[in-house]
Amino acid sequence: MKEEKVKTFENILRKHSLKVTHPRLKVLEKIFNKDTATSQPELEKSIGEDIDRVTLYRVLNIFEEKGIIHKVFDLHGTATYAICSTRCTTHQHHDEHVHFTCSTCNSVYCLQEIKLPQITTPSGFTIDQIAVNAIGTCNKCQSLKNASLS
Ligand SMILES: [Zn+2]
Ligand SMILES: [Zn+2]
Ligand SMILES: [Zn+2]
């Protein structure tokens, strides 16, 4: 890990009043460095022996609670995690963007630039969360398809 990056991750933890620990830094780095959401099994695989399963589970839980990462389910119903927008705080997620799941590679993308529409509810109804999941073919799989066709 580059010194500068470590500093940034430490700052993220401190900003959310979390103690800086090796597992927390490691998990943050892994999730941060991927352009798609990461599942717990994927994290286990890429981190390896370094962090045990229970610790990983706890780190993911506290990150989600603190508004550092948000959970999105992939096509198989597996929870995947992506970095939150800077507006997320403890118990208050503001990740109001479309999630895109690729039906070919099962990757989950945060489409940050596509905001969710404002929805007015009938009286007596309150919305806690709106989720829009788009399913299709991601740009990587699309270019592979195109390449095999030409
Ligand atoms: Zn969030
Ligand atoms: Zn794909
Ligand atoms: Zn997202």
Ordered structural domains, the chain, with CATH: 3-149 (1.10.10.10)
Rounded distance from Cα 116 to ligand 2 centre (Å): 22
Rounded distance from Cα 142 to ligand 2 centre (Å): 7
Rounded distance from Cα 16 to ligand 3 centre (Å): 19
pLDDT of residue 1: 56
Is residue 84 within 8 Å of 70, Cβ to Cβ? yes
SS3 assignment, position 123? coil
Rounded distance from Cα 36 to ligand 3 centre (Å): 9
Ligand sitting nearest the alpha carbon of 139? 2
Element (H, E) at 25: helix 22-32
Mean pLDDT of 44-52: 89
Ligand sitting nearest the alpha carbon of 110? 3
HSE of 92 in the Cβ direction (CA atoms, 13 Å)?
6
Q: What is the pLDDT of residues 9-44, one digit of tens each?
A: 999 999 999 999 999 999 999 999 999 999 999 999
Ligand sitting nearest the alpha carbon of 107? 2
Q: Residues forming the annotated binding site for Zn(2+)?
A: 102, 105, 138, 141
Least confident of 2-6, 51-55, 79-83: 2-6
What is the largest distance, in Å, between two alpha-carbon atoms of the chain?
56
Mean pLDDT of 103-114: 95
Is residue 134 within 8 Å of 116, Cβ to Cβ? no
Rounded distance from Cα 79 to ligand 1 centre (Å): 14
Token pair of 9 as six digits: 């991750």
